[in-house]
């Protein structure tokens, strides 16, 4: 589980989807004056050098964020501004991970908990979040930490669950953790990122959550190719429990357009689904 390094994949098409959806939800959470808790269960390093050896090996960002920086779409404003903010000198050299994106939205009345176990990424995460006083970095199991942090004192929460899924049982672990957290705090917003590698694993996780009685759940997918057992990750998705009320409408308008921009060979697609 700890062999996965997000630095190899930073800024790819999966990050594009994950971070656009995350920013939409952060914007929604800050509309109300009342504070909220933000929990990131698998934080990573928080900031990535796209010119590093790791990022340069695959250069996945070239088929992701790099294709979006010249698009002057209002729907992409939050995302583009977040990327531009960490690239003060203009060129696309750095990419912000979810912890840094969230940290910049947290107000004095909000609190953030960021979990990371990787021995290299943990100190980098600490350094990258040091300027943000509302953020607490924990070297701990994020799914266990999530349960300990629910329900929050403010009775408002946004949770991002973003494991590597290197082990097949992680799908079940995520499902059980979300069900347990939902029982403790049913009105929280839980966002689960997933890779589309084996579709049956995703369907199983979704069915488990539906059978658990979760009433409001939406799924958003962005893919470069149809499902294929032998091609690795062909798409990725965000499964959102208790989504903001405009999220579905906004993603239905944006994601098909993004799919056309990111398309390489006429096979890219976008899906927005109401699951429960």
Please tell me the number of Cα atoms within 13 Å of 267 on its side-chain side: 10
Q: List, as one string, the DSSP characters of 199-233.
A: HHHHHHHHHHHHHTT---EEEEEEESS---TTSS-
131 is written with which tokens? Answer: 């300027």
- What's the rounded Cα separation, in Å, for the pair 189 and 173? 18
Domain 11-47+96-274 has CATH 3.40.50.150: yes
Q: Residue 27 pLDDT more than 60?
A: yes
Nearest to 26 by CA among 153, 142, 145, 156: 156
Report residue 166's pLDDT band, with 50, 70 and 90 as the boundaries: confident
What three-state secondary structure class fits 160? strand
**Which pLDDT value is given to residue 57?**
64
**Which pLDDT value is given to residue 260?**
97
Q: Residue 4 pLDDT more than 60?
A: no
For the stretch 203-262, pLDDT in tens is 999 999 999 999 999 999 999 999 987 778 999 999 999 999 999 999 999 999 999 999
Nearest to 162 by CA among 119, 109, 101: 101
Mean pLDDT (the chain, rounded): 94
Tell me whether strands 37-40 and 111-115 are parallel, antiparallel or unpaired. parallel
For the stretch 33-58, pLDDT in tens is 999 999 999 999 999 999 887 766 66
In the chain, where the domains are located: 11-47+96-274
pTM listed for this prediction = 0.95
**Which pLDDT value is given to residue 229?**
76
**Which pLDDT value is given to residue 52?**
84
Torsion of CA 13, 217, 74, 38, to 10 degrees: -80
Active-site residues: which are they?
A: 162
Mean pLDDT of 158-178: 94
Q: Residue 89 pLDDT more than 90?
A: no
- What's the rounded Cα separation, in Å, for the pair 96 and 74? 20
């Amino acid at each position: 589980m700890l062999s996965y390094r997000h630095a190899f994949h930073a800024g790819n098409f999966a990050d594009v989807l994950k971070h656009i959806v995350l920013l939409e939800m952060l914007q929604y959470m800050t509309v109300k004056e009342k504070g909220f808790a933000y929990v990131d269960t698998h934080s990573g390093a928080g900031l990535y050098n796209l010119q590093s050896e790791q990022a340069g090996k695959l250069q996945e960002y070239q088929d992701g964020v790099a294709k979006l920086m010249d698009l002057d779409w209002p729907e992409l404003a939050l995302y583009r501004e977040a990327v531009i903010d960490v690239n003060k000198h203009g060129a696309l050299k750095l990419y912000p991970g979810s912890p840094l994106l969230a940290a910049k939205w947290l107000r004095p009345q909000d609190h953030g908990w960021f979990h990371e176990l990787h021995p290299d990424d943990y100190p980098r995460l600490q350094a990258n979040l040091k300027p943000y006083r509302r953020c607490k970095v924990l070297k701990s199991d994020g799914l266990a930490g999530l349960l300990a942090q629910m329900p929050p004192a403010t009775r408002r929460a946004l949770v991002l669950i973003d494991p590597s899924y290197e082990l097949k049982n992680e799908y079940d672990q995520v499902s059980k953790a979300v069900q347990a957290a939902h029982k403790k705090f049913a009105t929280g917003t839980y966002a689960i990122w997933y890779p589309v590698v084996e579709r049956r694993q995703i369907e199983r996780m979704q069915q488990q959550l539906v059978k658990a009685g979760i009433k409001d759940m939406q799924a958003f997918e962005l893919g470069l190719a149809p499902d294929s057992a032998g091609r690795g990750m062909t798409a990725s998705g965000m499964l959102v429990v208790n989504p903001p009320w405009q999220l579905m409408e906004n993603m239905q308008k944006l994601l098909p357009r993004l799919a056309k921009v990111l398309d390489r060979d006429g096979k890219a697609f976008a899906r927005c689904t109401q699951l429960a």
